C-alpha cells in the first residue's frame, strides 16, 4: 500500500486531476468540466473537482483511503481562500483529505520546472506575468482582464487587429490585408452591398455581427494578426510587435537580481508564436524559455511538496512523463 | 393663423421638441426622456416624442391643428426607416402630422449652419465624422461603438487613461500622475492595503470597482486625461494627442475637393477641449469650426426644409436665437 497525493488543476474550461505517488509516478488521471468557483459558481466547481477526482481514482484503480493529501490550483484563489466550499462536498462523498488552494499561475510555473524560484509569463486569451520565490507566488503583474489590462494577450491582439481592419475599411487607416482577412473569417462579402447609409455595407454587417459576441471572444481572431504579420502587413506587424513589447514590459517589471530563472512561458501567444516568445524572452538574457500547456504537472508537484515530499529533478521528470503518458 | 412646423431632436438621454414658424421664429419648446427607439424601445421612445411635442405645443399655446409638418432626428434612423412606430401613437393622440426620420448627425450639422454642404465631427462618449451634401448625409466614418471604433472619443480617452494608470501602478509603464488621479476619482487609498496576493492592493480594488461599471461608462474618466495632459504628464499628453490624430484621420477621410466647409464640431471632446479641436480643425485649412451642443436647431431647419421652406441665413439666425431664448 503506497500513499498517494491528489493534484487538481481547475480551469475555467476543464478540471484535470492526477493521483501520484511520492516518487513521482502518476497512477491515474481524470477530467471534468469547469472547476473555477468564480466563473462556474462554487457548487458546480466543487462537483467538477469531485468528478475529476473520482475519474482519477478509477483510472488508478484505488480507493480514496489511499490519498494522504492534495491541492487544487485555480485562478482567483485569493477570493476563495477558504476551501470549505470545495472540501465539504469532497468529505461528504467519502474523500477524506482536505485540499488546499494554490494559485494556478504557480502550478503553471511548476509544470515546467521543479525549481523554487523563477518567472512565468502566460499569454492566452489574457496575459499575466509572475515571479515565483520559494515555491510561492511572490509578485504578479497584469492579468487585469480584457477591458483594463491583459496587454499583449490574444484578446488584445484580436481586438487591435479587428479595430484596424475596420478603420482601414472605413478610410481612417491605410489599407491592410487585415480587412479582407476579417471579412473572410466572418464570412462577409467585401463587395456587396456597396453602401449602407454613407458607409461601406461590409462595415455595418461586421459591426452588427461582432457586437453579438462577448467582448472577450474577439481573442478568437488573434490568428488573423499573426498570419498577416508573417506575410509582412505593416499594421499587423506593428500589432504583434506591440504585443511582444507589452508582454516583455510585464516580465521586466517582475525581475529582481536574486532570481535569475528559469523562465516559463504558457498560453497560445507565447507557446505557438516563436517571434513573440523570442522578443519577450530577450528580457532575461541567457534563459531559454520552458513551455507549458497547462498546470497539471505543477499541481502534482505542489501536492507532493505541501505533503512534505521533496520533488527532485528525477521525481519531476517522472511526474512529467507519467502524467503525459496517462493523458494520452 | 400661421402654419407651424415641428422639429424633434430625439437623443438617448433626452428628447427636445421645437415648434417653429416659416420665418424661423420658435414659438414653443418641450422636453422629455429618451426618444431613441433602439436604446429605449419603440413604445417608450414614441411616448417621449409625444410628450416633448405636447410640452412644446403647450409652451406655444397653440393646438396640434396648426402643425403642417415635421421631422424627428435620431441615431440609427437607418434601422428605423419606417416611422409607423412613431406616427401611429402621434395620430392616436390627435397630432395629425406624420414625422419623417432624419439622421441626428445631419441635425447636428444644421444646428450650426444652414449651408447645404460641409463636414461635422462629433466626439462625445462616441466619435463619428460625416460629410453633408445637398442637405443629406453623404458619407459617414467611425461611430462604430466603444469596442470596435469611436477612436478619439471620450470613451477612448478615458479607457486609455485608466489602462495607463493601472499599468503604471502595476510597474509595467512609467509612473504617471494618472495613477493618483484615477485612485482619487475612485476614492481609493493609494497606500493601503500594501499588497494583495503579490500586487499593490489599490490595483485589485480599482479593477474590482471598474468591472462593475458598464464599459462605456469609462468615458466618465476622460477628464483625468485632459487635466493631466494640461499639467504636462507625458502619458496623458500622448493619449490626448493620439485622440486628436484619430479624430483628424476620421475627418480627413471624409474630405472631397467639391466640399470645402463649413466645419461643425460637436461633443464635449471637441467643444470643451480647444487643443483637440485645433488639431482636428487643421485638417480643413481656412475653416474656423462652428460648435454645436445638440441638434434641436438643425431639427427645426430640417422641419422647414422638408416642408418646402427655404432656410435663409436670416431665418437660420432667427431659429438659433429664438430657440435658445425659449430654452432658457
Q: Which residues of A touch B171 (CB under 8 A)?
A: 141, 253
**Peptide bond between residue A178 and the one before it cis (omega within 30 degrees of 0):** no
The H or E element containing residue A16 is strand A15-21
CA distance A61 to chain B (A): 38
Chain B contacts of A171, Cβ < 8 Å? 141, 253
Contact: B197, A103; criterion CB under 8 Å: yes
Domains of chain A by residue range: 4-111+294-327, 116-293
Size of interface A-B (CB pairs under 8 A): 106
Task: Say which residues have a Cβ less than 8 Å from residue A184's Cβ, sequence separation at least 6.
Answer: none
Chain A residues lying within 8 Å of B149, measured CB to CB: 163, 166-167, 170, 207
pLDDT above 90: residue A320: yes
What are φ and ψ of residue B95, in 5° steps? -100, 110
For residue A40, say if its preceding peptide bond is cis, omega within 30 degrees of 0.
no
Number of other CB atoms surrounding residue A308 within 10 Å: 9
Instruction: List the one residue out of B187, B190, B189 whose CA is nearest residue B169.
Output: B190
Peptide bond into A237 cis (omega under 30): no
CA distances from A21 to A16, A310, B274 (A): 17, 12, 70
- Mutant choice from B144, B159, B244 vs A, greatest count of A C-beta within 10 A: B144
Instruction: Report chain A residues whose CB lies below 8 A from the CB of B173.
Output: 249
Tell me the DSSP string of A195-245. Answer: EETTEEHHHHHHHHHHTTS-GGGGGGGHHHHHHHHHTT-HHHHHHHHHHHH
For residue B278, give the H/E element and its range. Answer: helix B274-281
Among A139, A140, A163, the residue with its CB nearest the CB of B148 is A163
pLDDT (0 to 100) of residue B38: 80
Give the mean model confidence (pLDDT) for residues A57-72.
94
With a cut of 80, say whether residue B208 has pLDDT above it.
Answer: yes
**A198 and B140 Cβ atoms separated by less than 8 Å:** yes
Task: For residue A77, name the pLDDT band (cuts at 50, 70, 90).
Answer: low
Chain-chain contact of B147 with A173 (C-beta, under 8 angstroms): no
pLDDT of B194: 64
Are B148 and A103 an interchain contact pair (Cβ–Cβ within 8 Å)? no
SS3 A138: strand
Residues 15-74 of A with CB under 8 A from B: none
Supply the Cα-derived Rg of chain A in whole angstroms.
Answer: 22
Residue B80's closest CA among A46, A197, A247, A188?
A197
B148 and A162: CB-CB below 8 Å?
yes
Dist. CA B176–CA B161, nearest whole Å = 10
pLDDT tens-place string over residues A100-148: 999 999 999 999 999 999 999 999 999 999 999 999 999 999 999 999 9
Nearest-neighbour CA in chain B from A196: distance (Å): 8
Per-window interface: A 227-266 vs B, CB < 8 A: 246, 249-250, 253
**Is the predicted pLDDT of residue A78 greater than 60, yes or no?**
no
pLDDT at residue B297 greater than cutoff 80: yes
Q: Residue A257 burial (CB < 10 Å; 0-12/13-18/19+)? A: exposed
Q: Do A144 and B207 touch (CB under 8 A)?
A: yes
State the nearest Cα–Cα gap between A263 and chain B, in angstroms.
Answer: 18
Tell me what pLDDT residue A264 has: 98
For residues A41 and A46, what is the distance between their CA atoms, to the nearest angstrom? 9
**Would the CB atoms of A144 and B166 count as touching at under 8 Å?**
yes
Q: Nearest Cβ partner of A163 from B103, B149, B196?
A: B149
Chain A CB contacts of B140 below 8 Å: 197-199
- To the nearest whole Å, the CA of B63 is away from the closest chain A CA by 36
Q: DSSP assignment, residue A152? A: T
Residues of A in contact with B105 (CB under 8 A): none
Question: Closest-CA residue in chain A for B162?
Answer: A148
Q: Is the pLDDT of residue B235 over 80?
A: yes
pLDDT attached to residue B188: 87
Answer yes or no: is pLDDT of A198 > 90. no
Q: Are B221 and B158 in contact (CB under 8 A)?
A: yes
Residues β-bridged to residue A162: none
Contact B144 A203 (CB under 8 A): yes
Whether residues B210 and A142 touch (CB distance < 8 A) is answered with no
pLDDT at A299: 97
Homologous superfamily assigned to B4-111+294-327? ATPase, nucleotide binding domain (3.30.420.40)
pLDDT at A196 over 70: no
Query: Using a CB-CB distance cutoff of 8 angstroms, which residues of chain A are in contact with residue B170?
Result: 141-142, 144, 149, 253
B327 — phi, psi (to 5°)?
-75, -15
Q: What pLDDT is attached to residue B222?
A: 97
Nine-digit cell string for B195? 499588497
Residue A263: phi and psi, rounded to 5, are -115, 120
Q: Is the separation of the CB atoms in B110 and B104 below 8 Å? A: no
- The set of cell numbers assigned to B269 is 471632446
Rounded CA-CA distance A186/A210 in Å is 9
Question: Any idea which architecture B116-292 has in CATH?
Answer: 2-Layer Sandwich (3.30)
Asked if A199 lies within 8 A of B139 by C-beta distance, the reply is yes
C-alpha cell at A123: 499569454
Burial of B180 (0-12, 13-18, 19+ CB in 10 A): middle
Element (H, E) at A269: helix A268-271
**3-class DSSP assignment, residue B108:** helix
State CA B130 to chain mean position distance.
13
Contact A199 B172 (CB under 8 A): no
Contact partners, residue A257, CB within 8 Å, separation at least 6: none
B196 has pLDDT over 70: no
Cell matching residue A194: 456597396
Tell me what the mean pLDDT of segment B253-274 comes to.
95
Cell of residue B326, nine digits? 425659449
Average pLDDT, stretch B215-240? Answer: 96
Residues A3-58 pLDDT 10s: 999 999 998 889 999 999 999 999 999 999 998 888 788 899 999 999 999 999 99
> If you compute the radius of gyration of chain B from its CA atoms, what whole number of angstroms results?
22
Q: Give yes or no for A139 touching B (CB within 8 A).
A: yes
Query: What is the bridge-based pairing of β-strands A118-123 and A263-266?
Result: parallel
3-state DSSP assignment of residue A286: coil
Residue A168 has pLDDT above 60, yes or no: yes
What are the cell numbers at A211? 457586437
Q: What pLDDT score was predicted for residue B80?
A: 54
B residues 168-207 lying closer than 8 A (beta carbon) to A: 170-173, 196-199, 203-204, 207
pLDDT at B109: 97
Distances B229 to A149, B236, B239, B281 between C-alpha atoms, Å: 22, 5, 8, 20
pLDDT at site B11? 87
Chain A interface test: which of B81, B150, B156, B172 (most A C-beta within 10 Å): B172
CB-nearest to B172 from A159, A167, A250 is A250
Query: What is the per-residue pLDDT for A314?
Result: 97
CA B303 to chain centre: 20
> For residue A1, what pLDDT is reported?
58
Locate A114 and state its grid cell.
Answer: 521543479
CB contact under 8 A, B144 and A166: yes
pLDDT band at A294 (very low <50, low <70, confident <90, very high): confident
pLDDT at B197 over 80: no
**Nearest residue on chain B to A158, judged by CA atoms?**
B148
Return the DSSP state at A305: H
Closest CA to A252 of A109, A108, A139: A139
Sorted by sequence, the CB contacts under 8 Å of residue B4 that are 6+ apart come out as B19, B20, B21, B27, B60, B62, B66, B67, B68
pLDDT of res. B77:
58
**Helix and strand counts by DSSP (H, E) for chain A:** 14, 12
pLDDT computed for residue B81 by the predictor:
67
Q: Do the domains spanning B4-111+294-327 and B116-292 agree at the CATH topology level?
A: yes
Q: Cell triple for residue A54?
A: 473520482
- CATH fold group of domain A116-293: Nucleotidyltransferase; domain 5 (3.30.420)
Amino acid at each position: 500500500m503506497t500513499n498517494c497525493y491528489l493534484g487538481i488543476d481547475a480551469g475555467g474550461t476543464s478540471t484535470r486531476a492526477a493521483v501520484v505517488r511520492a516518487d513521482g509516478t502518476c497512477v491515474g488521471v481524470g477530467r471534468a468540466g469547469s472547476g473555477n468557483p468564480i466563473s462556474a459558481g462554487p457548487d458546480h466547481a466543487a462537483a467538477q473537482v469531485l468528478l475529476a477526482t473520482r475519474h482519477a481514482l478509477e483510472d488508478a484503480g484505488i480507493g480514496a483511503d489511499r490519498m494522504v493529501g492534495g491541492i487544487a490550483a485555480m485562478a482567483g484563489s485569493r477570493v476563495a481562500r477558504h476551501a470549505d466550499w470545495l472540501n465539504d462536498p469532497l468529505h461528504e462523498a467519502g474523500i477524506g483529505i482536505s485540499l488546499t488552494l494554490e494559485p494556478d499561475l504557480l502550478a503553471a510555473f511548476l509544470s515546467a520546472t521543479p525549481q523554487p524560484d523563477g518567472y512565468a509569463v502566460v499569454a492566452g486569451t489574457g496575459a499575466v506575468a509572475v515571479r515565483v520565490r520559494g515555491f510561492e507566488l511572490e509578485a504578479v503583474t497584469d492579468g487585469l482582464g480584457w477591458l483594463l489590462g491583459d496587454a499583449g494577450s490574444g484578446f488584445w491582439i484580436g481586438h487591435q487587429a479587428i479595430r484596424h481592419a475596420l478603420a482601414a475599411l472605413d478610410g481612417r487607416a491605410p489599407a491592410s490585408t487585415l480587412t479582407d482577412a476579417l471579412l473572410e473569417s466572418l464570412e462577409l462579402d467585401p463587395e456587396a452591398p456597396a453602401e449602407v447609409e454613407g458607409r461601406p455595407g461590409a462595415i455595418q454587417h461586421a459591426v452588427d455581427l461582432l457586437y453579438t459576441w462577448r467582448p472577450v471572444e474577439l481573442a478568437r481572431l488573434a490568428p488573423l494578426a499573426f498570419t498577416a504579420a508573417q506575410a509582412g502587413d505593416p499594421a499587423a506587424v506593428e500589432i504583434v510587435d506591440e504585443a511582444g513589447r507589452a508582454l516583455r514590459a510585464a516580465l521586466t517589471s517582475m525581475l529582481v537580481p536574486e532570481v535569475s530563472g528559469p523562465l516559463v512561458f504558457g498560453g497560445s501567444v507565447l507557446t505557438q508564436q516563436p517571434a513573440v516568445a523570442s522578443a519577450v524572452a530577450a528580457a532575461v538574457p541567457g534563459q531559454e524559455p520552458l513551455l507549458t500547456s497547462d498546470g497539471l504537472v505543477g499541481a502534482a508537484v505542489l501536492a507532493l511538496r505541501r505533503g512534505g515530499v521533496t520533488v527532485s529533478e528525477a521525481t519531476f521528470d517522472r511526474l512529467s512523463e507519467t502524467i503525459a503518458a496517462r493523458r494520452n
